[in-house]
Structure 1
Amino acid sequence: MPSFGFLDTLELYLQTGKFPVNASKNVKRGIRAASKRFMYKDGCLWRSYRSRLLRVVRSEKEVREILTRYHDNNNHAGRERAVREIMMMYYWFGVTEAVKNWVKSCSVCHERTLPHSSQQSVFFCLVYGCD
């Protein structure tokens, strides 16, 4: 699961314009650069991405709820579909990796996958005649 500490620091900067007391120059530079893509509005942190605002997910519990909603409750959507739908509304560091691990650990999806046949397929040639 992702680390949410940087997002807490970024939110503090967006709300107050101040850095944490112990922040190094590199951390401050990173926060200033990231703040161009984020905003704090209506009590939530948002990320601007491709002319859309995505709500920033702030906890592992919320990540699990979103993964359940977009995979488990969505007819066990595959990895690509779940990532695409989640990224239309939400943002957190490592969305794709989180979905990949969630789908990989899904017992229902494992039951659905067909076992690969080790036998070679047999092809037949059909000959049709013309009169």
Structure 2
Amino acid sequence: MGALVQANHGLRPWLTITGTPVGKLLQEDLVANLKSKQGSIIVILTTDIPLSPGQLERLARHASIGISKSGSPGSNGKGDIFFAFSTANEMDLPQLSGPWRHMTTLNKNLLDPVYMATVEAVDEVNG
């Protein structure tokens, strides 16, 4: 699981790193003093696990759990974008592949470890 996170959001008191609320400990003059929850979050997830489009959509939703581990509950700000894709199923060009396509996908009952890997990857990159 790979994650790319652009995190420009939240308030200083919300910042938590490895469970420690470091944002509350930062002095006012060390960091820009933002009084509102400005910014946005963009997360791009990539995997080589064969997942269906619906499974990838659910995977992208789990990125918000990884973001929340750093202390942000989210906000009604400029917007958040979460995107996931898999490199597992190579497809021929549509005009060369004929009318039918075949995909391999992971059994949905085996997705819990994939969701956990997603949360951990996003938390690692964001925190």
- Structure number with greater CO (CA < 8 Å, separation at least 6) is 2
- Flag whether TM exceeds 0.5 (same fold): no
Q: Which of the pair has more CA radius of gyration? A: 1
More helix by share: 1
TM-score (norm 1): 0.31
More strand by share: 2
